[in-house]
Structure 1
Amino acid sequence: MSGPRLKNADKRFVWHPYTQMKDWQQDDNKVIVRGEGFYLIDSEGRRYLDGTASMWCNVWGHGPNEVVEAMREQLNILQHSTLFGLASGPSVKLAEKLVKLAKGMDRVFYTDNGSTAIEVALKMALQYWRNMGKPRKEFVSLERGYHGDTAGAMSVGYIKQFFSVYRPILKKVHRIPSPLLYGSKFDSERDLVEHCLEQTEKTLRKLRGRCAAVVMESGAQIAGGVVIYPGRYQKKISKLCEKHDTLLILDEIATGFGRLGNMTEYVAQRSRPDIVCFGKALTAGYFPLAVTLAKSEIYDAFLGRYSENRHFYHGHTFTGHPVGCAAALANLELYEKRNLMQQIKANSQYLESRMCEFEEIGTVADVRQKGLLAGIELERNGKPLLYLKKERLGQFVARESLKMGVHLRALGNIMVLIPPLAIDKNNLKTLLDTHMELAKKAEKL
Structure 2
Amino acid sequence: MMQRIDLRGGLPARAELLRLMPRAVGDVSHAVDAARELVEDVRHRGADALRDQAERFDGGAPANVRVPVAEIAAAVAGLTPELREALDEAIRRVRAASAAQVPAGSVTTLADGAEVHQRWQPMRRVGLYVPGGKAVYPSSVVMNVVPAQVAGVRSIALVSPPQRDHGGAVHPTILAAAGLLGIDEVYAMGGAGAVGALAYGVPAIDLEPVDLVTGPGNNYVAAAKRLVRGVVGIDAEAGATEILVIADETADPGFVAADLISQAEHDEQAGSVLVTTSATFADAVEAAIPERTAVLGTAARLQTALDGPQSAIVLVDSLTDAATVSNAYGPEHLEIQTADDDAVLADIDAAGAVFVGPSTPVSLGDYLAGSNHVLPTGGQARFGSGLSASTFLRPQQVIRYSASALDGVAAHIVALSTEEQLPAHGAAVTERTNR
Shorter-chain TM-score: which interval? under 0.3
**Over alpha carbons, which structure has the higher Rg?**
2
Q: TM-score, normalised by structure 2?
A: 0.28
